[in-house]
Amino acid sequence: MPTQRLKILLAIDDSKFSETAVRTLAAEHNPAKSLVRILHVVEPVELPYYPELTAPYPVSLSDINKKRMEAGRRLVDRAAARLRAAGFQTDTTVRPGPGRSLIVDIARKWHADLIVVGSHGRKGLARILLGSVSDYVAHHAPCSVQIVRIKSGKG
């Protein structure tokens, strides 16, 4: 009887923190026993509505969001290539929406066993204003969460 693979949801952005998460996942998990879904969430750019402004606008928001989705596709494809080279079975998805809750929703619907995310390590006011995706995911996920941090080199 075949053994069941560990379903790992790897949520990445275009940062050194996500690069570290990809490397850590490859180093700490068995490729033969893991299935990795690589997720990038694009939070759509929106502008406030001003009725006095009329089209054509100088820049189309749909063009901006489309380019961000394309960049997200390239990002997950690069991460998938790295993990496949290490022997992992992967699939990829790029979705528009609110990052924090979408990661949790996708993990729940996919029945993930583990979510891996990088931590930006924000503190103080930046954490309050920008929020913490990893903190939200850790508190709301339907499964275990591995938060990968970059070693500071201090101490």
What is the mean pLDDT of the segment spanning 100-110?
Answer: 96
How many Å apart are CA 142 and CA 111, to the nearest integer? 8
- Model confidence at 79: pLDDT above 60: yes
- Model confidence at 28: pLDDT above 70: yes
pLDDT of residue 3: 66
Q: What is the pTM of this model?
A: 0.84
pLDDT per position as a tens digit, 35-53: 999 999 998 776 666 555 5
Question: Model confidence at 112, in pLDDT bands (50, 70, 90)?
Answer: very high
Q: Mind listing the domains of the chain with CATH numbers?
A: 6-46+59-148 (3.40.50.620)
pLDDT of residue 130: 43
The count of other CB atoms within 10 Å of the CB of residue 21 is 26
Percent of the chain residues past pLDDT 70, beyond the cut = 77
**The two structure tokens encoding residue 30:** 């068995």
H or E stretch covering 116: strand 114-118
How many Å apart are CA 114 and CA 138, to the nearest integer? 11
Question: Model confidence at 155, in pLDDT bands (50, 70, 90)?
Answer: very low
Question: Model confidence at 151, in pLDDT bands (50, 70, 90)?
Answer: confident
